[in-house]
Structure 1
């Protein structure tokens, strides 16, 4: 039978085989062109959105930053403020903003309102560090403690970083590691922030210039509200244990809720529905915590009072 098939193939006209192959290739090219047109339409839709993102499964879902470099996932950003004593969630919010940096003052103010207090101490991780957000908290009577992310690689290269330069308030000048004074030169505005610039002319003859800068001179930038950020850093230096306390506090409810959810996705779609789903999770968590803290009978009595 196999030899018979070979003989049949040998007798087949070459033009027929070629024609069949040509038709197949044309079909594939037509399919690829159709896919390109579909993708071009999606690209036009994507570029027309404010954040230049679209999700084909959930219109409100957006790309979320994750801890892995160059990685991410499409979903929602859940924010929570947790009290350190009882680990109750006092405020929460679901957003589709991909990072935590714009969330600090909003969540802190919600927690302050929920607790009905005039002053509030807030501890957050470095992902929330944002100068304007910290200033907004300070103006609202909220004391913030969080570490500043290292945005410069000077320290890894063995060079001095800004923290090595001491600011002298009375003189409005910085003292560098070599003991030279970096004096104020000018003020400019950058990304909506008013910044003051400092440097000295002594860098060229400095013996440790190689550990400081590769430029003509080392320049230091100071925000007009830098004292607020310095107070945050001072609090962290005086109480480094607060970062451990933060992990023990906020990770507890998140870990518990994720365990209930099976560490899987939200069941709902769109921001409004996902927000409702998360609100039910938070309600269930807080009720269970209150049962563990107060006991079932006292909780029922308190709810009925």
Structure 2
């Protein structure tokens, strides 16, 4: 049986085929073209959005934006790879009309249009709202660590610098001793000369000066670490109890179609304090008066939850479990019953704990409750606390409000259980399927631009899957 045969590549055709014939009506590049062509580049803030009348002509920012969107949707982020693809990829030849910008031009476009690219992400979100792709009722908020363009070796903490300085001091002392005892015990063993030893000491002194300069910089900036390749990146805990130099990418995702409503990039490994920021951003984008926000226990913060409540954001957040110093689970803090009428706590052994001083921790006030006299005589003391004086229970001054949030979360488990399915969809697609688990650019501002491109590409792809390419092109093309 004969094989399927292709055409003769040396055959000259009388009427050459048009590139457009190779791009089917349901090809995603048609959406990219229609979307970018519909944008007002000057209003969005793109540089060179108005062509030059004198001098060498520049590339239209529309073409470079199309190139980046195509690249991010098709897992091509490097400017050098994009340059290569522009010269051999038939879809890009159609999209860019056979233009082939060099990698420096491509990279500079992303560098010079940070704010404008973020505005494009917001512009597409407005289209999604107009097309009713958002449910506008429930959002989920979460963060994920993306590796920075900075190795762990080039990240220094105070302890790491102290270890290096100690090692250098020891080596310098050793070399100085060798200078004093420059004897050769055995003829076949090379002993460094005095000049070699002085050279090594100079190298160590130079390294020592660099570490001391880092110490001074950390002290001036009030930070506990410094990264030499990407100064904004920080060491963070990642999966499987490992650590890496990362950025913390925050997202707010709409429940209906798992579209990203808002994002933020921070260099703080903790999620606390980000719930209200992300929820308010989503609420503004969706243009609603009230919204429900789902988040995990990492976002459980009193000021954050109160701010959300004031802004008309109904929160569903898992409560953090604090075990304290209790050895026996029967004496964990949640086993102590609060009596609001008498303003006391009843411990599992039946003894009352009375209100004491009020202390402030991170802008949150706590009322302490204790009864050391009863604790000294209690037979369960060793199971309850390691403190010699006795057990102390701290009650948040806004605990009544927090109890309301906890009750609401418990009574809506079916809604809360959707949190992970909603918010992990973009991260799963971008990090696992597309492989964007690390950043190519350096610096917080550049990283935010790269994140905007990633989430814009994700939202575009999701919209294509939901509406279809032909329907999107129809909606984007002016009548």
Are the counterparts in 2 of residues 47 and 53 from structure 1 also a CA contact under 8 Å? no
Distance 2:300 2:219 in 1: 29
Partner secondary structure for residue 76 of structure 1: strand
1:32-56 Cα distance to aligned partner (Å, 9 max, x none): 1221122212222222223243221
8 Å contact kept, 1:65–1:99: no
Give the alignment of 1:291-302 within 5 angstroms: 291-302=464-475
5+ unaligned residues in a row in structure 1: which ranges? 1-13
Does residue 122 (structure 1) correspond to residue 293 (structure 2)? The answer is: yes
Q: Secondary structure at the match of 1:92?
A: strand
Deviation at 1:159?
Answer: 4.7
What's the CA shift for 1:139? 2.0
Counterpart contact for 1:55–1:61, Cα < 8 Å: yes
Equivalent pairs counted in the alignment come to 291
Counterpart Cα distance in 2 of 1:22 and 1:280: 58
Question: What is residue 29 of structure 1 aligned with on the other side?
Answer: 201
Equivalent residue number for residue 425 of structure 2: 252
Give the equivalent residue in structure 2 for 1:10.
none
Q: In the alignment, which residue of structure 2 is the partner of 1:170?
A: 341
**Structure 1 residues 43 and 257: CA distance shift in structure 2, 3 A:** same
SS at match of 2:226: coil
Give the drift of 1:76. Answer: 1.6
Post-superposition offset of 1:233? 2.2
Contact 1:154 1:160 in 2 (8 A): no
Alignment counterpart, residue 44 of structure 1, candidates 216, 223, 227 = 216
Q: Which runs of 5+ in 2 are unaligned?
A: 1-185
Summarize deviations over 1:118-147 as a string: whole Å, max 9, x none: 222211122222222122212222222222
Corresponding position of 2:15: none
Using a 3 Å threshold, how does the CA distance of structure 1 residues 117 and 155 change in structure 2: closer, same or farther? Answer: farther
Q: From the superposition, tell whether residues 94 and 214 of structure 1 become closer, same or farther in structure 2 (CA, over 3 Å).
A: closer
Tell whether 2:440 aligns with 1:234. Answer: no
Helix, strand or coil at the partner of 1:138: helix
CA displacement 1:194-235 (0-9 Å, x = unmatched)? 222223454444454443234444322112111222223223
1:61 pairs with one of 233, 239, 249: 233
Select which of 271, 281, 284 maps to 2:457.
284
SS at structure 1 position matched to 2:274: helix
Offset at residue 89 of structure 1 (A): 0.6
Quickly say closer, same or farther: Cα 1:289–1:32, change in 2 above 3 A.
Answer: same
Q: 1:104 to 1:220 in 2, by over 3 A?
A: same
- What are the superposed Cα offsets for residues 47-105 of structure 1, whole Å, 9 maximum, x if unpaired? 22232432211232223333555x43223211001112211111111122222112111
CA distance in 2, matches of 1:171, 1:303: 65
Aligned to 2:278: 107
Alpha-carbon distance between aligned partners in 2 of 1:225 and 1:94, rounded to the nearest angstrom:
30
Instruction: State the alpha-carbon separation in 2 of the partners of residues 155 and 146 from structure 1.
Output: 25
Q: What is the CA–CA distance in structure 2 between the aligned matches of 1:191 and 1:80, rounded to whole Å?
A: 25
The one of 384, 388, 393 equivalent to 1:220 is: 393
Report if aligned partners of 1:46, 1:52 keep a CA contact under 8 Å in 2: yes
Match of 1:101, SS?
coil
CA contact (8 A) 2:344 2:355 kept: yes
- Which shifted more, 166-175 or 29-38? 166-175
Q: 1:93 aligns with which of 254, 264, 268?
A: 264
Call closer, same or farther: CA 1:138–1:26 in 2, change over 3 Å.
Answer: same
RMSD between aligned residues: 2.8
1:202-221 residue pairs with structure 2 within 5 A? 202-215=374-387, 216-221=389-394
**Separation in 2, partners of 1:27, 1:60:** 34
> Any conservation in 1 of the 2:325–2:386 contact (CA below 8 Å)?
no
1:28 to 1:220, Cα distance in 2 relative to 1, 3 A: same
- Larger relative contact order (Cα-Cα within 8 Å, sequence gap ≥ 6): 2
Shift of 1:156: 5.9
Query: 59-68 vs 286-295, which deviates more?
Result: 59-68
My pick for the range that moved more, 144-153 or 52-61, is 144-153
Please give the alpha-carbon distance, in whole angstroms, between the structure 2 residues aligned to 1:242 and 1:25.
69
Distance change in 2, residues 1:39/1:211 (3 Å)? closer
Q: TM-score normalised to the size of structure 2?
A: 0.55
